[in-house]
Amino acid sequence: MHARVSKRGLRHFAHDKRQPTCPVEGESPEHHHLKSFVARLARDLGYRAELEVASASDAEDAWRADVLVLTPSGRRFAFEIQLSAMSMPEGRHRTERYASAGIATVWLSSRHPGWMCQLPSVHISESGSEDPVADRGLARFDGQRWIAQESLPLIEVISGILDGTMTKTESPGEFVEMVAVRRAPNSAEVTVSRTTRDATVLVRTSDLKRHRWYQEGLDRRREEQQRAQEEAAQDAARTARERSANIAAMKERRYRLLQRVVAGLQATLKPDEAIWLAGQYPERWDGGYPVPLELASGTASSALGALAGIGSLDMPGMSWVVICPTASRCDTEMGAEWREHAVCVGADTPREAHMIARALGWRAHEVEIIGPQWKPQRRPQAGPIPREYLGLL
């Protein structure tokens, strides 16, 4: 038999001319039995099935199917009984040759060849009986991954393939099976683990839909996680930019107010006194403007506020002005100590003054607003040298 298309475009089978040699010559009884069984099974299910159907072409892409089944919808399936040795490249080439002709292929074998689960294939046990069983090449979806399907009657597998309730799919990753094999012809069967990378397996279409929904859910969650990560990264970058901008604005305020404070202190300076700036270490102001903020950048004791003060020429004690301390670094203990030594605390705006005063436990009016013509409301008392500087003097 061979498949051909009529003048009206209908696919059908036609008998070959009588050949001097028969294509089934040399077939084993097992091969012939399985081939006949599959054809009979397809016919019993209501499909057109013929044995040894060849393509009309004799070119390199010619094919000959052990069993070719034609469904009412026009789909064609080739069932190949492969008991002899076949390499993986050869099997892939033959499968692709069928595919180029619009034919889906399923390989059937009672052996355990290397291409099992690499091609759309089924291992048949009890192949000589009237109720053979498919026990390899099948998979089911357990809700998270494809796992090996328990044995099914071959009739159920072929019926599912032909009616569209079973199909092939790729199982990415490692597909693990437990396979019963014989080490020697007369030895007992032993169960071994077989792992196939990126297997091709036959599955129920209902499982395929469940797997697709699962994958879509995974993809959605992955996209949501990626979106959340991107949003978190954007938030972090925005926070970093805002923090950087706040730090820059704070430095600008401290620098601007430092010029006013030094000018105001200079107006009250006595001949035996000097203005001191306190940054990494205390340094007497040299009288130059603008006053570098780095020289008065403050310490932890000043809540990072800029530090300027009046002291004697050898700095035995200081009358401090803390400029724009960081409110989050201020506390009531610090406020009590500053009040005790009449430390002057300055801010740029009433809002900033209110925040600093609340952190220190002060009243808002106790924090001075450093305006352009600022002068200390009262002369600060001589206070202790910040402990950070004790080892430097």
Q: What is the pLDDT of residues 4-17, one digit of tens each?
A: 565 556 555 554 55
Torsion of Cα atoms, 340 then 327 then 347 then 275, to 10°: 60
Scanning the structure block, which residue is given the tokens 């270490």? 281
The answer to whether the beta carbons of residues 223 and 182 sit under 8 Å apart is no
Q: What is the pTM of this model?
A: 0.59
Beta strand pairing status for 282-284 and 318-323?
unpaired
DSSP codes of every residue in 40-51: HHHHHTT-EEEE
Question: What is the sign, positive or negative, of the torsion defined by CA atoms of 359, 365, 366, 372?
Answer: positive
Question: What is the sign, positive or negative, of the torsion defined by CA atoms of 146, 150, 155, 156?
Answer: negative
Confidence of residue 280 (pLDDT cuts 50, 70, 90): confident
Return the SS3 of 284: strand
Scanning the structure block, which residue is given the tokens 């190949």? 80
φ and ψ at 218, to 5 degrees? -60, -45
Q: Nearest to residue 155, comparing CAs of 119, 130, 121, 120?
A: 130
What does the pLDDT read at residue 14? 55
Domains of the chain by residue range: 2-217, 268-392
E-only strand ranges, the chain:
2-5, 11-14, 48-54, 64-70, 76-81, 103-109, 121-125, 133-136, 139-141, 146-148, 152-153, 166-182, 189-204, 273-278, 282-284, 306-312, 318-323, 344-347, 368-369
Kindly give, in sequence order, each residue whose CB lies less than 8 Å from that of residue 336, ignoring residues fewer than 6 positions away: 361
> Is a pLDDT exceeding 50 seen at residue 393?
no
Return the SS3 of 267: helix
What does the pLDDT read at residue 184? 66
What would the pLDDT profile of 195-244 be if each residue is shown by its tens digit?
888 889 999 999 999 999 999 999 999 999 999 999 999 999 999 999 99
Return the SS3 of 156: helix
> Is a pLDDT exceeding 60 seen at residue 96?
yes
Beta strand pairing status for 306-312 and 121-125?
unpaired
The answer to whether the beta carbons of residues 324 and 250 sit under 8 Å apart is yes
Question: Starting from the edge strand earliest in sequence, which strands make up the sheet with 11-14, in order?
Answer: 11-14, 2-5, 48-54, 64-70, 76-81, 103-109, 121-125, 133-136, 152-153
Longest dimension (CA), the chain: 131
Q: How far apart are CA 232 and CA 245, in angstroms?
A: 19
> Is a pLDDT exceeding 60 seen at residue 18?
no
Is residue 9 left, alpha or beta, with left meaning phi > 0 and alpha meaning psi from -120 to 50? left
> Is a pLDDT exceeding 80 seen at residue 259?
yes
Name the token pair of 79: 């069932």
The answer to whether the beta carbons of residues 92 and 54 sit under 8 Å apart is no
What does the pLDDT read at residue 20? 47
- Of residues 39 and 270, which shows the higher confidence score? 39
Q: Nearest to residue 168, comparing CAs of 197, 199, 145?
A: 199
What would the pLDDT profile of 308-367 be if each residue is shown by its tens digit?
988 887 765 668 899 999 999 999 999 998 988 888 999 999 999 999 999 999 999 999
Burial level of 130, CB count in 10 A (0-12/13-18/19+)? Answer: exposed
Q: What is the mean pLDDT of residues 36-43?
A: 95
Confidence of residue 266 (pLDDT cuts 50, 70, 90): very high
Q: CA–CA distance from 53 to each of 14, 57, 69, 208, 355 (Å)?
A: 9, 12, 10, 31, 92
Name the token pair of 291: 């006053």
- Of residues 67 and 384, which shows the higher confidence score? 67
What does the pLDDT read at residue 26? 64
- Of residues 129 and 36, which shows the higher confidence score? 36
- 2-217: CATH topology is Trna Endonuclease; Chain: A, domain 1 (3.40.1350)
DSSP codes of every residue in 4-58: EE-TTS-EEEEPPPP-SS-TTTT--HHHHHHHHHHHHHHHHTT-EEEEEEE-S--
Angle at 240 between CA 228 and CA 255, to 5 degrees: 165
